[in-house]
Structure 1
Amino acid sequence: MTQQSTPPGGHPHDRAAAAATPDRAGFWAAGGTVFAGVVLLVDGLLDILKGISAVSSDHIYARVDNYLYRFDLAGWGWVLVALGAIAVLTGLGLLMDVLWARVLGVFMASLSLVANFLWLPHLPLWALISIGLDAWVIWALTAHRPQRPVAL
């Protein structure tokens, strides 16, 4: 009876099982990509609605006179409508798992983070929630590295 030696690096079945088992951070990031797509989709729709309400009647939002960043709410409403439409398309692309949507998703979440910072005096609680969600979307889209099969 001959005994086969184990190759360096462990048994081949052990290496295959380890490669097939995702690490915890990878698991959360992969699920985070789907969540990022849903967040961008919903946040884009809400931005469109916020923009429409700012364009139609800018008396809905609180007026803040002593804030460093002052801007016309109707003009800002059009910006929100445009950003919201692009965010909706990006969210749909993320749900279809296309690469351009991952790159555009990081860009859109960054823009949304800045836009919500500028929106702080008008809707402070929602702006802070959106800033947190945008930061999480950026992490999820940049941390996830899809496992590609390795050709042997």
Structure 2
Amino acid sequence: MSSTLQADPAPTRSPTFSGVLILSTGVLQLVAAAAALAGNGGLLIAQNPVHPLDITRWSWFLALIGVLVIISGVGILAKKPWAYLAGIGMAAISAADSFVFASFCPLFALLVISIDILVICTLMREFPAACP
């Protein structure tokens, strides 16, 4: 009896983990933007932020980025090839935005930056399989 060894087929990569991560980042940014727009008590903001930015204007920018990140996440979950590049770009923009927002709310910004770095790493790993 001769048995031949066959190589395992290449593992299929599912974008579910990346999609859920980037969706959670978008939702977190929308929640932070809504809390900042709500005014008093909605968001714990540092008393003396480093950047002299208007929190209301910045929260609208944060909301716009949150919506774009959610659109990228939906595209990733739908396995659209364009969404992988858009997701990498939006995660990088989200991390940069959170870096500036860190002077207002440091723990929130650290959480979002950590998730964004994880999203970029997972999307870069899945990108070659998504675009044949």
TM range (shorter): 0.7 to 0.9
Is the CA contact 1:48–1:84 (under 8 Å) kept in the aligned structure 2? yes
Moved over 2 A (4+): 58-61, 63-66
Identity among equivalent positions (%) equals 27
Distance in 1 (alpha carbons) for counterparts of 2:96 and 2:83: 19
1:47 corresponds to which residue? Answer: 29
2:55 corresponds to which residue? Answer: 73
Q: What letter is aligned with 2:44?
A: Y
Alignment of 1:110 onto 2:92: yes
User: Where does 1:109-148 land on structure 2 (aligned, <5 Å)?
Assistant: 109-144=91-126, 145-146=128-129
1:93 corresponds to which residue? Answer: 75
Deviation at 1:148, TM superposition (A): 8.3
Q: CA 1:98–1:128 in structure 2 vs 1: closer, same or farther (change >3 Å)?
A: same
Is the CA contact 2:81–2:131 (under 8 Å) kept in the aligned structure 1? no
Distance in 2 (alpha carbons) for counterparts of 1:147 and 1:75: 37
Residue-pair matches, total:
127
CA offset digits 1:28-76 (Å, max 9, x no partner): xx35x32121111122122112112212316633244361x22110001
The answer for unaligned runs of 5 or more in structure 1 is: 1-10
Deviation at 1:122, TM superposition (A): 2.3
Distance in 2 (alpha carbons) for counterparts of 1:51 and 1:130: 13
Q: What letter is aligned with 1:61?
A: L
TM score, norm. by length of structure 1: 0.72
Distance in 1 (alpha carbons) for counterparts of 2:84 and 2:130: 16
1:84 corresponds to which residue? Answer: 66
SS in structure 2 of the partner of residue 129 of structure 1? helix
- Judge which range, 119-128 or 73-82, deviates more: 119-128
Distance in 2 (alpha carbons) for counterparts of 1:110 and 1:78: 18
- Over alpha carbons, which structure has the higher Rg? 1
TM score, norm. by length of structure 2: 0.81
1:62 corresponds to which residue? Answer: 45
